[in-house]
Amino acid sequence: MFRNQYDTDVTTWSPAGRLFQVEYAMEAVKQGSAAIGLRSKTHVVLACVNKANSELSSHQKKIFKVDDHIGVAIAGLTADGRVLSRYMRTECINYSFNYESPLPVGRLVVQLADKAQVCTQRSWKRPYGVGLLVGGTDESGAHLYYNCPSGNYFEYQAFAIGSRSQAAKTYLERRFENFMDSSRDDLIKDALIAVRETLQGETLKSSICTVAVVGVDEAFHILDQETVQQLINAFEIGGETEAGAAEEDTAAAEEGTAAEEGAAADQDAAPMDI
């Protein structure tokens, strides 16, 4: 991004009313690997793309368990996400100890947003360079929130953050009306398709994606690679079957058209042309 004299301090306003350090932190979220969240009435599914720095290293963890009813997926600076997930975990433990009940998802998101906002108003701090998709369930149902480095937070039906997330957003926008009544497996399938959209031609495998589920009657947990690969295989077989059926129908239609054209040509042709 273009540098100027107003981006040396997070507390310095530009004449246009912008805080460039905060915008740079939001840009860091866009550079991170993609993270996707979807919710229905009873379940929330989080998915992310695992990217390793080299072939010799393992990928960094992008989905964290906060409590039995809350989980978080991150995009951006992984170290900041790890620290914030630990803060969220501590808040859940303290609330459960004091009130003997799970911390409501919305209250935790507000506390997280307040913590992020402080970093935009102190000259000796920097904004957190990570975006968080917080999914969880409470007495009011399933919830999915996005926490921004600026301190803003939004509740979504489905959302995607990180690099090449626009392709996933386009798919989610076409399908979001069906998410509220979707089953658990349908949500996972849509999440995997959205992850595939961000890969831009790369083959979707369980080794490059992580999927986590939390429901009203289901504690937050991350699906193992074998389960994810089985779901991917089932989805790809269905797609190939549909594609094969479509190709067969197209081929049959073309043969029928060719036969009709040939018959018409035979009727109009001279004997020497037959």
Q: What is the CATH number of the domain that holds 195?
A: 3.60.20.10
| Cα distances (angstroms) measured from residue 239 to each of 45, 87, 159, 193, 235 | 22, 42, 24, 11, 6
Total domains in the fold of the chain: 1
Q: Which of 17-31, 44-58, 62-76 has the lowest mean pLDDT?
A: 44-58
> How much is the mean pLDDT over the chain?
86
What b/e readout covers 195-226, taking b as 16+ CB neighbours within 10 angstroms? Answer: bbbbbeeeebebebbbbbbbbeeeebebbeee
Instruction: Assess whether pLDDT exceeds 90 at residue 237.
Output: no
CA dihedral 197, 198, 202, 208 (to 10 degrees): -110
Q: Are 69 and 102 in contact (CB under 8 A)?
A: yes
pLDDT of residue 32: 93
3-state secondary structure of 201: coil
Q: What is the pLDDT of residue 271?
A: 37
| 269 in any annotated domain | no
In angstroms, the CA 64 to CA 87 distance is 12
Q: Which of 24-28, 50-54, 124-128 has the lowest mean pLDDT?
A: 50-54
The residue ranking higher by pLDDT, 253 or 195, is 195
Assign residue 214 a region (left: φ > 0; alpha: ψ between -120 and 50; beta: otherwise).
beta
pLDDT at 1: 53
Distances (CA, A) of 245 to 153, 155, 235, 241, 256: 45, 40, 15, 6, 16
Of the two residues 226 and 253, the one the predictor is more confident about is 226
Counting residues of the chain whose pLDDT is more than 90, the rounded percentage is 73
**Region 16-43 average pLDDT:** 95
Q: Is the pLDDT of residue 179 over 70?
A: yes
> When comparing pLDDT for 19 and 242, which is higher?
19
The predicted structure's pLDDT at residue 54? 78
Residue 189 lies in a domain: yes
Question: Has residue 262 been placed in a domain?
Answer: no
First to last CA, the chain: 70
When comparing pLDDT for 184 and 272, which is higher? 184
73-77, 124-128, 195-199, 255-259, range with the lowest pLDDT: 255-259
Instruction: State pLDDT tens for residues 119-159.
Output: 999 989 999 999 999 999 999 999 999 999 999 999 999 99
For 255, the token pair is 């043969």
- Give the 3-state secondary structure of 119-173: CCCCCCCCCCCEEEEEEEEECCEEEEEEECCCCCEEECCEEEECCCHHHHHHHHH
Average pLDDT for residues 25-51, to the nearest whole number? 95
**Across residues 77-97, what is the average pLDDT?**
97
Q: Does the pLDDT value for residue 57 go beyond 90?
A: no
* 109 pLDDT more than 50: yes
- What pLDDT score does 244 carry? 41
272 pLDDT exceeds 60?
A: no
How many whole angstroms separate alpha carbon 9 and alpha carbon 20? 8
Instruction: Check residue 250 and give its pLDDT.
Output: 45
Sheet bearing 35-39, strands edge to edge = 158-161, 35-39, 43-49, 209-215, 218-222
Domain limits at 238? Answer: 20-246
Cα separation, 245 vs 239, in Å, equals 10
Q: What would the mean pLDDT of 246-261 be, rounded to a whole number?
A: 46
The answer, yes or no, to whether residue 2 has pLDDT greater than 90, is: no
What gap in Å lies between CA 176 and CA 44, rounded to an integer?
A: 13
Check pLDDT > 50 for residue 258.
no
pLDDT of 86 > 50? The answer is: yes
| pLDDT at residue 270 is higher than 70 | no
Which three-class secondary structure state does DSSP give residue 222? strand
d(CA 239, CA 257): 27
Residue 273 lies in a domain: no
Q: Classify residue 259: in a domain, yes or no.
A: no
Asked whether residue 241 carries a pLDDT value surpassing 60, the answer given is no
C-alpha 207/C-alpha 193 separation (Å) is 15
Neighbouring residues of 263: CB distance < 8 A, sequence distance ≥ 6: none
